């Protein structure tokens, strides 16, 4: 059965595939004009074709930019044309500042033509476009690249082997049998890449140093804050102990005052009516009843 897209384009044989979909040779059933049709499953995790169509619209009329004939959905697929969905801005439109340098990024694009920096997880920029373009031109001229056809258990291992092969392949071997200009281009690019890598390493060292200093300062601040808290806690404990001692002293003073009051009360009773024990014999004698001759008539 003949498969058609948008009731106008006949789907032919597959001519290529990428990380995000398959490309087929298509034909306009009215004009018999050959076109490229790209299919992307709607269940894909990160859809790209809609973004591609927007980019084509923005770049329309430029040299080498294909024209979007149609974009839409057919069954379980998003349908568009040539793979150009990974384009991105390398600088801010208003400030013209370059995008930030990032690391640990996942590989995006076709591993065969990806730059070494892309394999290493660095943020892509214009230098990576030039390197990828160089690999494509070598592929067109020689028909094969040294890292094609490598055996691997899974995709991750395959990407690692491709990356190692790219890094270990000298420019002389890569460009063997090619025009001198191509060899010169690759050598110049590698030297520039090495220089950029050195600058990147220096920047990374500076960032790491700053981060280390910042971390040390934060640790010092934490230690100082902890010390202050401990000092406050110790001060609070001492104050509590001082307060307890003061209370004990107050209690002792209160007891002393009570004792003194008791003594004063006892003294008053003795003055008011002295006990017989404390009365002297002389006083006892004269306190007796007087004799008859002592009584006054």
Report whether 271 belongs to an annotated binding site: no
Domain stops at, among 33, 58, 80: 80
Residue 168, classed as helix, strand or coil, is: helix
Question: What is the reported pLDDT for 266?
Answer: 62
Question: What is the reported pLDDT for 277?
Answer: 52
In a domain, 211, yes or no: no
Give residue for tokens 């084509």: 56
pLDDT bracket for residue 147 (50, 70, 90): very high
Q: What is the pLDDT of residues 23-56, one digit of tens each?
A: 888 888 888 878 888 888 888 888 888 888 888 8
Number of domains in the chain: 2
Domain stops at, among 143, 174, 199: 199
Question: What is the reported pLDDT for 163?
Answer: 92
Question: What is the reported pLDDT for 212?
Answer: 77
Mean pLDDT of the chain: 77
Token pair belonging to 157:
């291992």
What whole-number percentage of the chain has pLDDT above 90?
6
Is it the case that residue 218 has pLDDT exceeding 50?
Answer: yes
In a domain, 31, yes or no: yes
In a domain, 264, yes or no: no
**CATH code (residue 133):** 1.10.510.10
Q: Which of 33-37, 110-114, 204-208 has the highest mean pLDDT?
A: 110-114
* Cα–Cα distance for residue pair 153/175, rounded to 1 Å: 29
Instruction: Give the sign of the dihedral formed by CA 231, CA 236, CA 241, CA 245.
Output: positive
Considering the domain architecture, whether residues 56 and 130 belong to the same structural domain is answered as no
In a domain, 136, yes or no: yes
Backbone φ and ψ of 94, nearest 5°: -85, -50
Token pair belonging to 241:
């102990």
DSSP symbols for 263-275: HHHHHHHHHHS--
Considering the domain architecture, whether residues 120 and 187 belong to the same structural domain is answered as yes
- Are 9 and 26 within 8 A, CB to CB? yes
* Cα–Cα distance for residue pair 156/164, rounded to 1 Å: 12
Question: What is the reported pLDDT for 297?
Answer: 47
- Are 9 and 37 within 8 A, CB to CB? yes
In a domain, 101, yes or no: no
Is it the case that residue 278 has pLDDT exceeding 50?
Answer: yes
Q: Which of 17-21, 70-74, 198-202, 255-259 has the highest mean pLDDT?
A: 70-74
Considering only residues 230 and 96, tell me which one the structure prediction assigns the higher pLDDT: 96
Mean pLDDT value of segment 242-265: 76
Question: What is the reported pLDDT for 254?
Answer: 84
Helix (H) or strand (E) holding 184: helix 180-272
pLDDT bracket for residue 221 (50, 70, 90): confident
Considering only residues 146 and 282, tell me which one the structure prediction assigns the higher pLDDT: 146
Is it the case that residue 283 has pLDDT exceeding 70?
Answer: no
**CATH code (residue 68):** 3.30.200.20
pLDDT bracket for residue 294 (50, 70, 90): low
Question: What is the reported pLDDT for 166?
Answer: 92
Question: What is the reported pLDDT for 165?
Answer: 92
Question: What is the reported pLDDT for 160?
Answer: 92
- The domain in which residue 30 lies consists of 4-80
Left (φ > 0), alpha (ψ -120 to 50) or beta: where does 189 sit?
alpha
Question: What is the reported pLDDT for 146?
Answer: 92
Considering the domain architecture, whether residues 195 and 120 belong to the same structural domain is answered as yes
In a domain, 274, yes or no: no
Domain stops at, among 157, 174, 199: 199
pLDDT bracket for residue 64 (50, 70, 90): low
In a domain, 17, yes or no: yes
In a domain, 126, yes or no: yes
Considering only residues 291 and 89, tell me which one the structure prediction assigns the higher pLDDT: 89
Mean pLDDT value of segment 76-104: 77
Is it the case that residue 181 has pLDDT exceeding 70?
Answer: no
């Amino acid at each position: 059965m003949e498969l058609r897209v948008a009731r106008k384009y006949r789907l032919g044989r597959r001519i290529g595939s990428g990380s995000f979909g398959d490309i087929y040779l298509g034909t306009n059933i009215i004009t018999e004009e050959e076109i490229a049709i790209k299919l992307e499953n709607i269940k894909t995790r990160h859809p790209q074709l809609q973004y591609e169509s927007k980019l084509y619209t923005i770049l329309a009329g430029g040299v080498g930019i294909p024209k979007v004939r149609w974009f839409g959905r057919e069954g379980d697929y998003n349908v568009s044309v040539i793979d150009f969905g990974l384009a991105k801005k390398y600088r801010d439109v208003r400030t013209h500042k370059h995008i930030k340098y990032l690391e640990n990024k996942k590989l995006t694009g076709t591993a065969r033509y990806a730059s070494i920096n892309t394999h290493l997880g660095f943020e892509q920029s214009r230098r990576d476009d030039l390197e990828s373009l160089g690999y494509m031109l070598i592929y067109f001229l020689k028909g094969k690249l040294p890292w094609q056809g490598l055996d691997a258990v899974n995709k991750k291992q395959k990407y690692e082997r491709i990356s190692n092969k790219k890094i270990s392949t000298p420019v002389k071997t890569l460009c063997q049998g090619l025009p001198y200009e191509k060899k010169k281009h690759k050598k110049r690019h590698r030297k520039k890449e090495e220089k950029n890598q050195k600058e990147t390493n220096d920047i990374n060292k500076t960032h790491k140093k700053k981060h280390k200093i910042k971390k040390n300062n934060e640790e010092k601040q934490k230690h100082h804050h902890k010390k202050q808290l401990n000092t406050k806690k110790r001060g609070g404990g001492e104050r509590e102990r001082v307060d307890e001692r003061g209370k004990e002293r107050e209690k002792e003073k209160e007891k002393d005052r009570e004792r003194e009051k008791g003594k004063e009360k006892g003294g008053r009773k003795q003055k008011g009516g002295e006990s017989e024990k404390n009365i002297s014999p002389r006083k006892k004698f004269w306190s007796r009843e007087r004799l008859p001759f002592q009584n006054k008539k």
